[in-house]
Amino acid sequence: MTDGIATKDRVRIVDTVVLSDDWYVLRKVIFDFRRRDGAWQRQSREAYDRGNGATILLHDPRTGNVLLTRQFRMPAFVNGHDGMLIEAVGGLLDDASPEARIRAEIEEEAGYRVERIEKIFEAFMSPGSVTEKLYFYLGEYESAMCIGDGGGVVDEGEEIEVIELPLHEAMSMIARGEIVDGKTIMLLQHLALRQAATRP
């Protein structure tokens, strides 16, 4: 009975309650959802809104290396990980365009000023509970583009280590459970698949 009905016509927001507005905003949304059989069902969900973000995998096509970062992540720590995650460069948009934000993050985190970047896709990373959408990029770098040490912004609590390693080693680190960050795995696999497809 819902064939041809737009999703917006299947959802009626009944109430929205702010549960927390400290670091970012956590809301409880109470809504009625029209099921496929036409019946309306009352539901409630919590949604964590931290804004959208962008991430990029920097790679050097001349050497086959990629640039990644290592930093402490409290949510991973409290879930049993040691908290030091290896990741692609990334950050929240903070009202900037995705391309402008990711270029700034590259300089802040990795210490490089790159020229060529390519948007490859957009994805919701945890759509069951987090509103954030990420914009994914690939970018080429070489040693001459280095303008500083990177490391992040101290006033924001960042202490970021820059890691350069071959792509094949990064892929092995995924298999060994040493790289467990979702966005980074997606980017590394995308680059590996692209390179495999272009080999003679």
Indicate the domain borders of the chain: 7-49, 53-198
pLDDT given for residue 148 in this prediction: 86
pLDDT given for residue 90 in this prediction: 96
The model carries a pTM of 0.93
Q: What is the Cα–Cα distance from 154 to 160, expressed in whole angstroms?
A: 9
Classify residue 112 by its DSSP letter. Answer: B
Where does the pLDDT of residue 113 fall: very low under 50, low under 70, confident under 90, or very high at 90 and above? very high
pLDDT given for residue 200 in this prediction: 73
Q: How many CB atoms lie within 10 A of CB 183?
A: 19
Residue range 63-72, pLDDT digits in tens = 999 999 999 9
Classify residue 130 by its DSSP letter. Answer: B
Q: Which helix (H) or strand (E) holds 174?
A: helix 167-175
Architecture of domain 53-198: Alpha-Beta Complex (3.90)
Question: 56 has which bridge partners?
Answer: 89, 137
Give the mean model confidence (pLDDT) for residues 154-176. Answer: 91
Tokens of 170: 């990064």
38: which residues sit within 8 A by CB, 6+ positions away? 1, 2
Tokens of 70: 């290592």
Residue range 21-53, pLDDT digits in tens = 998 999 999 999 999 999 999 999 999 999 999
Share of the chain above pLDDT 70, in %: 98
Where does the pLDDT of residue 1 fall: very low under 50, low under 70, confident under 90, or very high at 90 and above? low
pLDDT given for residue 150 in this prediction: 85
Give the mean model confidence (pLDDT) for residues 178-196. Answer: 97
Residue for token digits 């929205």? Answer: 16
In the chain, the amino acid numbered 2 is T
Q: 73, 114 in Cβ contact below 8 A?
A: no
